[in-house]
């Protein structure tokens, strides 16, 4: 016992000396020496442990000579002290039952120390997680695993999916719920050590773009949400392979939420959500299309009659996708704004477009046929109604008309005033219509079909009322003839070195006429070095090539225009030329089992046919004999390719010579 205490406290802390006469009956003096040392031990231990830790009571016979029995009583108390100290120090392996005369065996107790391992462990969902906890110590430590949930430790249940093997915590088929902090305690009779392990569950990254709608009407709001299986590190939004830059109309509400406030045609496309975390990336996409609807009117205005000086407001509202644009006309001409006439529009909450015309201090000259037209990329719809103003007849000035012969011309008299008894159009004192090619509708609009030169002249619009008041306004109709080009062509047997020319002749059309030449859609200038453009008359132009070469092949277009219209005619030049090599094959070296490619390209007219030969043997695409030497040969556009060059060629170090030829036209 004394030796054990010396190991724990140090030699200086064990000053007691108990001398027992061997094989002799002790006397009073030796007995008292023993008791003095025992009491001294008791007193010193009380100072270290406190009084509560000294439960022993030793009764000493007073004024008596001790015998063997009394010595045994003392030794029982000493053994009890020794046993209690073993419980406190943790010396469970100490042989307490040995006689007091036998000294204890030496021990080497060590505090557990856990071997350092990575503190963070990442495991894929559904796999088995192993969190190591290996400690050194003597006696061999025991392991206890706890899970830290918000500071509260819970002992792991080893009955279900958790097992502890040699200190390692094994979790089978992990799920996201298993991620978190785990604590391992290694304990023996000397003490304990602990270590923390953080378990992260890797979930395969699955991404999906969820949208409120895939077909969106123009002007609507649409939201895109990037839904994923695990928390991302970063999210990138892309439209048609271009990164989205938020603006006043496209907002990034959060990392995973994109909102388009007012959807427009240019917003149509493929939207992609790229998601990244620490170990992988993934993406999902959705296509947004603009719902195309032809405009339809929701609100229109009726025919109206007003007194001069009043305020008039006309409204047209239409829906459609894309949002329609609404324009206003007066008697077929675009309505012009002024100090008294104002136009405007706005988008209603229901997604329709509302357009209006406000006229203040209404005048007789403001009367007429008002029209609104709603148009988008799908189609157009129009509405018109008369706004009449009480007053004498009035006809607004009309511009002169220039039309192309053979078309239809419309003459509309812009009449205002109310009431109007009669409106008509006349030429040279004769009222229209007076021929089969002329017609008039209920609103007094005159149409002349298949206009001819004889229809040219001065026309008058006349309006009268019941009080004999009359208004008239003249207009001049001019009929012009569109240019007409006589067909031309190149010789079919043109070869390099020959000469060639063509003539573009305008056989009909009113002057002045402008003539220009184009080659393959690009303007040819008169100063071209090898092509001459020679104007012969105002209606005839010649194109001359003195030395034809292969690069002159192409489409040549003569373009004729005047004040009435424009027309063109195209001819194709084909120059026959012998084959020339653009790319010649070069020597190749290759390892056995690799691929070999020979490039060969030729040009000419007609297009050359490229053939390959090995030695004197022509190589066919579907070869038989040469397939013994080569596997899977392909020949396309002059490109010869052999995959898997066999050892029969490379091992024998033979040289392969390829002959290439391109046949001329037949």
Which of 77-91, 159-173, 346-360, 429-443 has the lowest average pLDDT? 77-91
Most confident among 10-24, 113-127, 412-426 (mean pLDDT) = 412-426
Q: Are 606 and 576 in contact (CB under 8 A)?
A: yes
> Is pLDDT larger for residue 276 or for residue 596?
276
Same fold, 213-290 and 293-389: yes
Mean pLDDT of the chain: 79
Which of 146-150, 432-436, 442-446 has the lowest average pLDDT? 442-446
Domain 213-290 belongs in CATH node 2.60.40.10? yes
Here the tokens at position 474 are: 């003249």
pLDDT for residue 611 is more than 80: no
The pLDDT of 580-606, averaged and rounded, is 80
Residue 625 pLDDT class (50, 70, 90 cuts): very low
The pLDDT of 466-495, averaged and rounded, is 93
For the chain, which residues make up each domain, given as ranges?
Answer: 110-196, 213-290, 293-389, 392-480, 484-575, 583-650
pLDDT for residue 474 is more than 70: yes
| Strands 304-306 and 234-239, sheet pairing | unpaired
- State how far the Cα of 505 lies from the Cα of 558, in Å rounded to an integer: 9
pLDDT for residue 467 is more than 80: yes
Residue 372 pLDDT class (50, 70, 90 cuts): very high
Q: Are 513 and 506 in contact (CB under 8 A)?
A: yes
pLDDT for residue 653 is more than 90: no
Here the tokens at position 456 are: 């040219």
pLDDT tens digits along 294-352: 999 999 999 999 999 999 999 999 998 888 999 999 998 999 999 999 999 999 888 89
pLDDT tens digits along 203-227: 888 888 888 778 888 888 899 999 8
Question: What homologous superfamily is domain 484-575 in, according to CATH?
Answer: Immunoglobulins (2.60.40.10)
pLDDT for residue 30 is more than 80: no
- State how far the Cα of 194 lies from the Cα of 114, in Å rounded to an integer: 7
Confidence at residue 77, expressed as pLDDT on a 0 to 100 scale: 60
Confidence at residue 623, expressed as pLDDT on a 0 to 100 scale: 40
pLDDT tens digits along 112-161: 899 888 889 989 888 999 999 989 898 889 898 999 988 888 888 665 67
Distances (CA, A) of 435 to 59, 284, 412, 446, 450: 155, 69, 18, 12, 12
> Is pLDDT larger for residue 645 or for residue 159?
159
Q: Residue 181: how many CB atoms within 10 A of its CB?
A: 16
- State how far the Cα of 296 lies from the Cα of 294, in Å rounded to an integer: 7
- State how far the Cα of 569 lies from the Cα of 598, in Å rounded to an integer: 44
Domain 293-389 belongs in CATH node 3.40.1500.10? no
Q: Residue 576's beta-bridge partner residues?
A: 495
> Is pLDDT larger for residue 235 or for residue 657?
235
Which of 60-74, 438-452, 586-600 has the lowest average pLDDT? 60-74
Which of 39-48, 412-421, 588-597 has the lowest average pLDDT? 39-48
> Is pLDDT larger for residue 286 or for residue 76?
286
- State how far the Cα of 60 lies from the Cα of 69, in Å rounded to an integer: 12
Residue 228 pLDDT class (50, 70, 90 cuts): confident
Distances (CA, A) of 327 to 216, 243, 354, 423, 624: 25, 36, 11, 27, 74
Confidence at residue 655, expressed as pLDDT on a 0 to 100 scale: 36
Q: How far apart are the first and last CA of the chain?
A: 122
Q: How many CA atoms lie within 13 A of 570 on its CB side?
A: 9
DSSP per position, 578-619: EEEEEE--------TTS-EEE--EEEEESPPPEEEEETTEEE
DSSP per position, 342-403: EEEEEE-TTS-EEEEEEE-S--GGG-EEEEEEEE-SS-EEEEEEEEEESEEEEE-----EEE
Residue 35 DSSP SS3: helix
Confidence at residue 81, expressed as pLDDT on a 0 to 100 scale: 61
Confidence at residue 185, expressed as pLDDT on a 0 to 100 scale: 92
Question: What's the CATH number of domain 110-196, 3.40.47.10, 3.40.190.170, 1.10.10.10, 2.60.40.10?
Answer: 2.60.40.10
Instruction: State CA 38 to chain mean position distance.
Output: 88
pLDDT for residue 106 is more than 80: no
Confidence at residue 529, expressed as pLDDT on a 0 to 100 scale: 75
What angle, 0 to 180 degrees and rounded to 10, lies between the N-to-C axes of helices 68-89 and 2-9?
30
Whole-model pTM? Answer: 0.49
**b/e burial code for range 398-434 (CB count within 10 A of at least 16 → b):** beeeebbbeeebebbbbbbbbebeebbbbbeeeebee
| Strands 162-165 and 168-171, sheet pairing | antiparallel
Residue 264 pLDDT class (50, 70, 90 cuts): confident
The pLDDT of 166-182, averaged and rounded, is 89
CATH of domain 392-480: 2.60.40.10
């Amino acid at each position: 016992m004394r030796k054990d205490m010396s190991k724990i406290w140090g030699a200086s802390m064990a000053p007691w000396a108990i001398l027992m006469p061997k094989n002799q009956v002790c006397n009073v003096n030796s007995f008292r020496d023993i008791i003095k040392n025992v009491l001294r031990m008791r007193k010193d231990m009380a100072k270290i442990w406190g009084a509560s830790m000294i439960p022993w009571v030793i009764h000493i016979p007073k004024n008596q000579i001790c015998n063997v029995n009394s010595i045994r009583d003392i030794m029982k108390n000493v053994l009890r002290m020794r046993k209690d100290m073993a419980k406190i120090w943790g010396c469970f392996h100490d042989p307490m039952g040995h006689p007091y005369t036998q000294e204890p065996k030496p021990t080497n107790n060590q505090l557990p120390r856990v071997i350092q391992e990575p503190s963070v462990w990442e495991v894929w969902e559904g796999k088995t997680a192993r969190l190591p906890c290996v400690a050194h110590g003597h006696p061999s430590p025991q392991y206890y695993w706890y899970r830290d949930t918000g500071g509260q430790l819970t002992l792991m249940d080893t009955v279900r999916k958790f097992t502890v093997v040699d200190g390692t915590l094994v979790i089978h088929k992990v799920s996201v719920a298993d991620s978190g902090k785990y604590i391992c305690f290694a304990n023996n009779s000397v003490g304990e050590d602990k270590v923390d392990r953080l378990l992260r569950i890797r979930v395969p990254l699955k991404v999906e773009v969820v949208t409120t709608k895939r077909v969106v009407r123009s002007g609507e709001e649409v939201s895109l949400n990037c839904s994923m299986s695990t928390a991302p590190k970063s999210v990138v939004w892309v439209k048609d392979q271009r990164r989205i830059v938020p603006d006043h109309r496209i907002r990034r509400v959060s990392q995973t939420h994109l909102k388009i406030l007012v959807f427009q045609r240019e917003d149509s496309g493929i939207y992609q959500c790229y998601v990244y975390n620490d170990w992988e990336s993934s993406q999902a996409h959705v296509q947004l299309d603009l719902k195309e609807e032809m405009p339809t009117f929701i609100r229109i205005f009726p025919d109206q009659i007003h007194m001069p000086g009043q305020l008039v407001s006309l409204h047209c509202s239409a829906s459609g996708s894309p949002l329609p644009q609404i324009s206003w006309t007066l008697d077929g001409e675009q309505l012009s704004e002024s100090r008294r006439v104002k136009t405007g529009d706005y988008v209603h909450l229901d997604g329709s477009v509302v357009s209006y015309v406000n006229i203040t201090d209404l005048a007789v000259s403001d009367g007429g046929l008002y029209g609104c037209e709603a148009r988008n990329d799908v189609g157009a719809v129009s509405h018109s109604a008369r706004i009449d103003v009480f007053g004498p007849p009035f006809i607004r000035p009309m511009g002169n008309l220039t039309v192309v012969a053979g078309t239809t011309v419309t003459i509309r008299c812009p009449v205002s005033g109310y009431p109007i008894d009669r409106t008509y159009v006349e030429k040279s004192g004769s009222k229209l219509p007076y021929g089969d090619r002329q017609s008039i509708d209920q609103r007094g609009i005159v149409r002349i079909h298949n206009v001819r030169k004889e229809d040219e002249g001065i026309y008058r619009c006349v309006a009268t009322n019941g009080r004999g008041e009359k208004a008239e306004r003249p207009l001049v109709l001019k009929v012009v003839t569109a240019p007409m080009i006589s067909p031309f062509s190149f010789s079919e047997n043109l070869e390099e070195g020959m000469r060639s020319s063509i003539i573009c002749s305008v056989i009909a059309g009113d002057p002045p006429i402008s003539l220009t030449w184009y080659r393959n859609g690009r303007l040819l200038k008169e100063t071209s070095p090898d092509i001459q453009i020679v104007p012969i008359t105002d209606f005839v132009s010649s194109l001359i090539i003195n030395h034809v070469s292969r690069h002159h092949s192409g489409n040549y277009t003569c373009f004729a225009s005047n004040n009435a219209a424009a027309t063109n005619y195209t001819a194709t030049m084909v120059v026959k030329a012998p084959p020339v090599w653009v790319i010649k094959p070069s020597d190749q070296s290759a390892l056995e089992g690799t691929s070999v490619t020979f490039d060969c390209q030729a040009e000419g007219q007609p297009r050359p046919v490229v053939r390959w030969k090995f030695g004197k043997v022509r190589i066919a695409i579907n070869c038989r004999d040469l397939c013994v030497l080569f596997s899977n040969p392909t020949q396309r556009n002059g490109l010869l390719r052999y995959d898997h060059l066999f050892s029969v060629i490379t091992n024998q170090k033979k040289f392969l010579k390829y002959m290439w030829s391109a046949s001329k036209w037949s």
